[in-house]
Structure formats: structure tokens, C-alpha cells
A and B are shown apart, each in its own frame.
Chain A
């Protein structure tokens, strides 16, 4: 094409002094938002492996995957909601609700595959309600989802009577949605990776992703150019809740039990922490799903690593909190280095 020459001109203008190919690659790596959290993660792995040699054993990695996979799936949805400028506190409660919707549907004679779809539909309804109340009634999503958080929790406790239930899926359903392979939680890992990849793609390569960033980055501007900001927000609330529902059902199949007290605010906070640790700004307009995945892994490494090191349960939370802060400081430092190294 005749437009090739100007392209190279602007590129050389953008980065006038590129020292070498390797330096350029290093810079490109540092320039990516996920780099700092990846480096922090690797440093943590090295540290824990040196203090507790069992850290990188298969059984421990399996533990880590189980923990990180669930949080990563929740975090993917939370990232979308946060980027478009909102917040979802209720996702952990949807996580607990969906397995009961699925279980009751199956008890009523619905086949498992369809029951899973119904569980996700329940999530979609919660997301729709969160979105409609936030967008149409102009209630800050922090308040909206604080309200629905309690409502869903109460609803789950009511329909379950407060007792856990045990689903008995056929081998196929179990293998696809919960089953380990040779003792390793393969399906969990694959679902988390696939969902992360899908949502990163949606965020970076599709119109929906661009409009999500635009809505969170400049709400007024986005509406001025005609982006349907209400629908973008409602849609992302729905995606987040559907992912919450799906994660809940995955865990339900994995441990062959649905607990009305599972998930909750603890999981929601971990998912949000993963998003933030991964580089998503709470102010909206900027974030990454891959970063949130890595954030979930780092959180998993921290809690798992300290457990292995034999830290007392009492001091554990203090150390975890401190470690989150230190990780964030490292992250911010590296971001600054990145901004300086980026040169633009």
C-alpha cells in the first residue's frame, strides 16, 4: 500500500532514540501494564520457594490454582464494571446464589446443562437489576450493590434453609465443570484462562470494550458522541454477575457441595483486590483483565505461601494485608519506572 512510508516516519518520530532491538523489546515489556505485577509475582515465588521447598510441588500448585481460578473469574467481571466507572459489591453473593438456583432447577427435573444456564440467567437478572437501579434511578452503584448484596444473601439463605446441598452430576458434567484430572484442577484452570482470554479480547479488540473504556474514561464525552452509556453499564453489570454465577457453580461441582455461606464479601474483596493489584484504576477508564488474573495469582501465592511457611492464623491476616500493600508499592514503583522508560 502507498501508505507504508508515512507509517514508518511516525513510528520513528514516536520513539526517536531506540538503542537496540533488545532494548526496544525490554521497553515494550516494561510499557505493558501487566509487567509490574508479573515481576512482583515471580519475586514472591522465588521468595516462598526458598523458604518453603514444598511451594512448587504439584499438590501445592493445585491448591493455588483452585484458589486463584475462582477469584480470577470473579475479577474479570469486576474489571469490566470498574472500567466503565461503577462498582459491584454483590458479586460474591451471586456466587453463592447460583448453585442453589441450579440445584433446585435440577431437582425439579431440569437437566444439568440447562440448570447451569438457568443459574447464569439468575446472575444476569441480578446484574440487570443492579444496572437498572444504578443507571435509571441514579443511585451510586456502591449503594445499589450494597443493597442487593444483603437481599441476595437473604434470598439464598431462605431458599436453602441455611443448609448446604450436594449435587450429583453425571461424569460428563463433573469432568467439564469441576473435575480434576490426575489430581490436578484442570477444568478450573482452563475455565479461568479461557474466560480471562475472552474478556481481555472483548476489552481490547471489540467495540464493546472500547465503549466500556470510553464510558468510564469520559462519561459525558461518550454520551455526546452517541455511545449508549446506560446499556454499556447495565451490560457490564450483567456480565459481572453472570461470571459470579458461573464461578459459584464451578466451585459447587468441584467440591460436590453448595454452601449458602460460600463466597460472599470475602471473595468480592479478593476479586476487587486482584483487579486493583493487576493495574485496574478504581476511578474507571483504565484496566486489564490479564492483570486481574495475575493479581489473583499473586493473592493466591501470598495466602498459600504464608500458610506453607507455618505462619499462625492470628498473624496471618496482618501479614497478608502488609504483603498486599508492599506488592502494591512495588507495582506503583515499577509503573513509574515504566512511564519514565516509555519516553512518551
Chain B
């Protein structure tokens, strides 16, 4: 529990003259579930994209398992064990479940001609989904035939299967009913029980994810303004902070 999984040191990111992140330092321990909360436009997506290797920070450092690292690309970050689960889930509707499970990490019968090993991918996908208690009719169905919750579960299962050490979940419960969200949070709880992966959940719905998080960070205007264990805070306190921010913003508008 005390080992460090991922850490950022004073990360900033600007797009032209717009500064999306300012001096952001976060720390994630192994087996920990960290909630990264904040309003729309607070910089959550930018921070996610930096941690996945999609964007490079303008300044600042990233440490993975204690080592300073430059995340060169999404593939590079994934190869190290940083697995993102995006809001759109990066699943291909027209492709069946098991091929989606291995997308971009396909098993091949013939490396030179890149011929896919469907039988083995099918078998392993089936085995793994059963293990993670993800309930779908068959691994042969196309993703388009599955429900939102099933898709989310498959996306998470895919990341875990890919030997994820750090799992980045972007708004896992967005656009989902109560029952569906419960299914996802259940999968996350399961991961926590096994304590093999560290998880960052990015969300703007605090109440949904508060339960499963060990610790929460609040991102406001590109800065981390709050960092505390969930045991020592409450949804109400977080809401209070956000309300305060809103009031300040309103006053600023009045002054100008």
C-alpha cells in the first residue's frame, strides 16, 4: 500500500495562450483508488491526456513507480502499464467482443503476415471476462449489441487484462442509469479487493464515485485545490468548495 504507482510534479500545460493546467502535483499509491473531481473545463481531461501519453506537459515531471519517465505516446504509456478507459470506451461497435478485448494488442498466428489468432483471443477473452464476472451473452457478438454498462465493463476488463498497473477511468458513470453505474462501481470495488491496480477515476458527479474512492483531489481552474482521504471529508464539504468557487466567479463577473 505504501509503494508509489504514479506521481506528477508541478505539471503545467498550455495550448497557445490558454493555460489548461497549472502546477499540478498528484500522487497515486499502489492499490489506491483516487477520485479526480472537478467541474467541466477544470482541466480533468487535459490531465488525463497527459497521463495517458496523448499530450506532453509544457513543464513538470512524471514519475512512474518512482522512476522519472517521459510518456512518449499512448502506446508507450500502455506498454508501461498505464491503461486509459475513455468516455467513448474506445470500443469498435462493428467488431466482436473478443477482438475488441485485444485491439492493438492482437495475438497473431503469423507475425510476418499479421494473421490474427482468433481462436486463442476468443478463448482468453472468455476466460478473463468470466473471471471478472462480466456477464455478456457471448464474446462473438458485436459491441453494438451490448448495453452501456456491459460495454463499460468490457472496456475496464480489457484494461485490466492488458496488465494495467494504473487504470485511468474517464467519467465511468456518465450517461448511465443507476443500475448500470452500480455495475461499474462494483467492478471497480472488485479491482480494489484484489489491490493489484491503482485507479484514478475522473468524474464530475461526486456522489457517484465518492464511495469507491480512497482519496479525492479537487481540480479547479487547472489547479489542485483539495487533497484528502475520503474518510476525512464528505460530499457536502466538496460541494461547499465548489459553491465557493462559483460565488467567487460570479463576484468577478460583477466587478468587471
Chain A residues proximal to chain B, CB less than 8 Å: 1, 3, 6-7, 10-11, 13-14, 205-208, 210-211, 213-214, 217-218, 220-227, 285-286, 344
Contacts and interface: CB of A to CB of B under 8 A. Distances in A.
B211 interface: no
A80 to B, nearest CB: 15
A224 B90 contact: yes
Contact of A220 (B88, B99, B103, B114): B88
A148 to B, nearest CB: 29
A224 B78 CA distance: 11
Contacts of A225: 74, 78, 90, 103-104
B108 interface: yes
Interface stretch (B5-13, B18-26, B137-145, B226-234): B137-145
B95 A213 contact: yes
Given A10-B140, A210-B95, A344-B137, 12 more contacts: A10-B137, A11-B138, A14-B138, A14-B141, A206-B114, A214-B95, A221-B91, A225-B78, A226-B73, A227-B103, A285-B93, A286-B94
B115 to A, nearest CB: 6
B108 A218 contact: no
Contact of A217 (B94, B140, B141): B94
Contacts of B163: none
**Shortest beta-carbon contacts, A-B, top 6:** A221-B90, A226-B75, A207-B114, A14-B138, A224-B90, A10-B138
Nearest to B158: A225
13 contacts: A6-B126, A7-B126, A13-B138, A206-B114, A206-B115, A208-B114, A210-B106, A221-B90, A221-B91, A221-B92, A224-B86, A226-B75, A285-B94
A205 B95 contact: no
Contacts of B86: 221, 224
Contacts of B54: 224
B187 interface: no
Chain B interface SS verdict (over half): loop
A107 to B, nearest CB: 37
Contact of A224 (B74, B94, B113): B74
Interface string B129-140: 010000001111
B89 interface: yes
Given A10-B126, A13-B137, A227 B104 contact: yes
A273 to B, nearest CB: 22
B27 interface: no
Contacts of A224: 54, 74, 84, 86, 88, 90
Contacts of B245: none
B127 interface: yes
A155 B104 CA distance: 40
Contacts of B123: 1, 3, 7
B116 interface: yes
Nearest to B139: A10
Given A205-B115, A344-B145, A218 B90 contact: yes
A220 B90 CA distance: 7
Interface string B98-133: 010001101010000111101000010011001000
A211 B90 CA distance: 13
